[in-house]
């Protein structure tokens, strides 16, 4: 039986991945600070995310290690929150690196969370894995996160993949999908800012399938973009949500209003206003087929 170890196992994506591989017959264990929120088929292993301990024995007998730890960036970017966002990623990655380094039977594959926010803002060119890196808080976090991952002094037999994730859409509470649906239904689903900013995304159903594809394709190493092939402009995305909702109108939201509104709801306006155009170059080049390659909302 193949064994999967997921760090940060009570997170949304981690729970989806855990359930998917449990259904495939894998033995799944999860590192988490608390047991609540884990998939029912995921065995709970306690850790604090920053210190070595008894949990390291779980490293010794796993085939694949996945680290999905990281405080959400969907918050006000105060100095305190920025430090938590950064340190949660660096500490968990560093301690996993130490655990893998001391393991006598390390996993054959370590997939570490990352983000497409590392790329520079682009309106006219899609960014594959060789795309230019950007500036600013989020880009800097991802750069440091990946640097911590790739500098770990572990056995050369351990294949490493940094999974650069875009916005994940799922018809579940607290997901951007539901939020955008609500805006569209209430007539507020117009373009945001100038509406020209590109939006890259991936459907939740494709997330665990991407992980499985990476496991099965040993030639995939380094950064891998997890984004659907079709990126859309913000204006086009909102048009599709209005179409899905049967709402003919959508009031636009000027950039100044977005900045005020983001402060009220407790998020960072750049997450909405910046253009992110990401291309899944390595996945497509290795033959991966997306179940949801286009933002065809009416078919979801």
d(Cα 133, Cα 279) in Å, to the nearest integer? Answer: 14
Position 247 in a domain: no
> Residue 145's closest CA among 202, 93, 219, 83?
93
Position 100 in a domain: yes
d(Cα 168, Cα 131) in Å, to the nearest integer? Answer: 21
Position 195 in a domain: no
CATH number at residue 151: 3.40.50.720
d(Cα 49, Cα 31) in Å, to the nearest integer? Answer: 8
Q: How confident is the model at residue 262 (pLDDT cuts 50, 70, 90)?
A: confident
Position 186 in a domain: no
| pTM beyond 0.85 | yes
Position 143 in a domain: yes
Q: How confident is the model at residue 81 (pLDDT cuts 50, 70, 90)?
A: very high
Its domain, for residue 221, covers 3-166+204-226+279-292
d(Cα 131, Cα 231) in Å, to the nearest integer? Answer: 16
Residue 110 contacts residue 58 (beta carbons within 8 Å): no
pLDDT in tens, 7-58: 999 999 999 999 999 999 999 999 999 999 999 999 999 999 999 999 999 9
Position 25 in a domain: yes
Position 263 in a domain: no
Residue 128 has pLDDT above 70, yes or no: yes
How many domains does the chain contain in total? Answer: 1
């Amino acid at each position: 039986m193949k064994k999967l170890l997921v760090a940060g196992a009570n997170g949304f994506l981690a729970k989806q991945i855990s359930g998917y591989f449990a259904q495939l017959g894998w033995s799944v264990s999860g590192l988490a600070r608390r047991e609540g929120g884990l998939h029912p088929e995921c065995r709970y292993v306690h850790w604090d995310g920053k210190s070595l301990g008894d949990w390291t024995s779980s490293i010794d007998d796993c085939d694949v290690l996945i680290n999905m730890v990281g405080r959400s960036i969907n918050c006000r970017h105060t100095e305190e929150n920025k430090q938590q966002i950064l340190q949660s990623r660096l500490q968990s990655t560093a301690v996993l690196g130490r655990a893998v380094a001391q393991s006598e039977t390390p996993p054959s594959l370590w997939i570490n969370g990352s983000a497409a926010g590392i790329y520079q803002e682009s309106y006219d060119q899609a960014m594959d894995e060789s795309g230019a890196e950007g500036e600013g808080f989020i880009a800097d976090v991802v750069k440091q996160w990946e640097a911590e991952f790739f500098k770990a002094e572990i056995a050369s037999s351990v294949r490493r993949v940094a999974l650069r994730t875009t916005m994940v859409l799922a018809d579940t509470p607290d997901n951007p999908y539901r939020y955008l649906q609500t805006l569209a239904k209430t007539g507020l689903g117009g373009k945001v800012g100038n509406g020209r900013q590109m939006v890259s995304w991936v459907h939740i159903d494709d997330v665990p399938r991407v992980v499985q594809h990476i496991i099965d394709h040993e030639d995939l190493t380094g950064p891998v973009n997890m984004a659907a092939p079709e990126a859309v402009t913000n204006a086009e995305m909102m048009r599709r949500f209005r179409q899905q909702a049967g709402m003919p109108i959508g009031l636009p939201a000027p950039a100044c209003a977005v900045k005020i509104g983001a402060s009220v709801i407790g998020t960072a306006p750049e997450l909405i206003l910046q253009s992110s155009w990401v291309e899944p170059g390595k996945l497509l080049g290795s033959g991966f087929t997306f179940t949801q390659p286009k933002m065809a909302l009416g078919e979801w």
